[in-house]
Amino acid sequence: MKKITFLKTFIQTRWLHNFKTRADLEAYQKKQLSNYMDFLKRESPYFKNGVPTDFDHMDKTFMMAHFNELNTQGIDRDEALALAIESEKTRDFTELKGEVAVGLSSGTSGHRGLFITTEKERSMWAAAILAKMLPKGHLFGHRIAFFLRADNELYQTINTALIRLEYFDIFKNTDEHIERLNHYQPTIVVAPASMLIELSKRLKAGDLSISPQKIVSVAEILEDSDRIRISSAFKLPIIDQVYQATEGFLACTCSAGHLHLNEDIIFVEKEYLDERRFYPVITDFKRSSQPVYRYKLNDILVENPEPCSCGSHYTRIDKVEGRSDDIFYFEGQDGGQVTIYPDFIRRCILFVENVGDYQVKQHSEKIVEVCLSQRDEQVEAAITAQFQLLAQQKQFKVPEIHFSDYHWDTSRKLKRIQRL
């Protein structure tokens, strides 16, 4: 870890980035954008003459196609990809070239990507996430349990003399984690929503005996019903969220329990789908080894224009609703196609009592599969009725609703709503 970089970033993020007005924040962003473009012209072969005239935005496909000319470390894509794949197979995550760490990103879309980070970037990431997420008035002495699929150097960075982090591999059976958690007694647990649900079950069953001060949901969409369930099990009023992707540390929960974009770290352009829903197009001021400039995510964010009681001027987000490939499409009653956002599908399930764990998959415009952990004829009839009501309201033809048993595949991210 680069200690001076860590301390500088921690102090700036924790105490100095408290902008008094939105205008102050925007002035800061404008300066950061200018500095970042100057850096890209100097260091990235792709941007040496500025932004190419045919450039619009980045995405995972673009990043992979232009990997060699985009990155500033002289890293070859094929060499890095081979090492990343081997690391995933052996679970041995080593550095590629000196201080550069390499990892794979599949995301929830399943499209493979490759990311690299330097020791400086990892130090800045660790400082920023700790500055934003550590409880107020209690900075040191925390024991963090971090559940992830890959023990990359990026996450090991947080091991310091003052804060201890232990990594838990979500590919392993949950039973292997219980004894270790009981011995470790973490003060903070960071895990995907699906793992937090499983830990909640073990806590209620009496197998798990921990009392963390903070729970942080990462990597998967945290459904409101799951948040309430986790909150009840751990007896915590707020379940924090970190909206983190390989493209950046994008958002986190404030002291009032609301999600805000980290606009001191990233600049976000919004491609609106309606008055509040938008796709974020991000530029990450802190990414130097693998530039993130106008990178379009296919996540659907729901903006809340109301001021937050925490006092932050960062954009407030009601929820990360899903991804573009989670949108359902049905045949309209007039013969056209009707777009249905994931939230409307969720309501068809959540308006029904005693559902338990669930997943909804769209196989085609005419077939929807509903997977339930608690199969019951009355519940299934009620869900079918909700779909019929939604079809009437949105004017599409009611699809065939097939019901099946719910199974969670721990090797994949949990997606409650999914278009196949």
Instruction: Indicate if 177 and 310 belong to the same structural domain.
Output: yes
Instruction: Indicate if 55 and 97 belong to the same structural domain.
Output: yes
Strands (DSSP E) found in 106-257: 113-117, 143-148, 164-169, 188-191, 214-218, 240-245, 248-253
- By the 8 A CB rule, do 359 and 415 touch? yes
Query: pLDDT tens digits, the chain, 420 residues: what are they?
Result: 678 998 899 999 999 999 999 999 999 999 999 999 999 999 999 999 999 999 999 998 999 999 999 999 999 999 888 887 777 667 666 656 668 888 777 554 445 688 898 989 988 988 898 899 888 877 788 999 988 765 555 555 566 666 788 888 877 888 889 999 999 999 999 998 989 999 999 999 999 999 999 999 988 888 888 999 999 999 999 999 999 887 789 999 999 999 999 999 999 999 999 999 999 999 999 999 999 999 999 899 999 999 999 999 999 999 988 788 788 999 999 889 999 988 899 989 988 988 988 999 999 999 999 999 989 999 999 999 999 999 999 999 999 999 999 987 766 777 889 888
Instruction: Indicate if 157 and 282 belong to the same structural domain.
Output: yes
Closest by alpha carbon to 292, among 130, 71, 69? 71
Residues 355, 131: Cα–Cα separation, whole Å = 38
**Domain that residue 194 falls in:** 1-324
Instruction: Indicate if 232 and 131 belong to the same structural domain.
Output: yes
Domains: count for the chain: 2
Residues 134, 137: Cα–Cα separation, whole Å = 9
**End residue of a domain, out of 324, 358, 383:** 324
Structure-block tokens of residue 66:
């232009």
**End residue of a domain, out of 305, 324, 343:** 324
Instruction: Indicate if 248 and 374 belong to the same structural domain.
Output: no
3-class secondary structure per residue, 210-229: CCCCEEEEECCCCCHHHHHH
Residues 235, 352: Cα–Cα separation, whole Å = 25
Structure-block tokens of residue 264:
């001191």
Domain of residue 376, CATH code = 3.30.300
Residues 307, 316: Cα–Cα separation, whole Å = 8
Element (H, E) at 269: strand 266-272
The distance in angstroms from the start CA to the end CA of the chain is 42
**End residue of a domain, out of 281, 297, 324:** 324
Residues 155, 167: Cα–Cα separation, whole Å = 8
CA dist 353 to 90, 152, 161, 343, 407, Å?
Answer: 44, 41, 48, 17, 20
Residues 115, 247: Cα–Cα separation, whole Å = 8
Instruction: Indicate if 130 and 238 belong to the same structural domain.
Output: yes
Instruction: Indicate if 292 and 362 belong to the same structural domain.
Output: no
Instruction: Indicate if 336 and 319 belong to the same structural domain.
Output: no
Element (H, E) at 132: helix 119-133
Instruction: Indicate if 66 and 202 belong to the same structural domain.
Output: yes
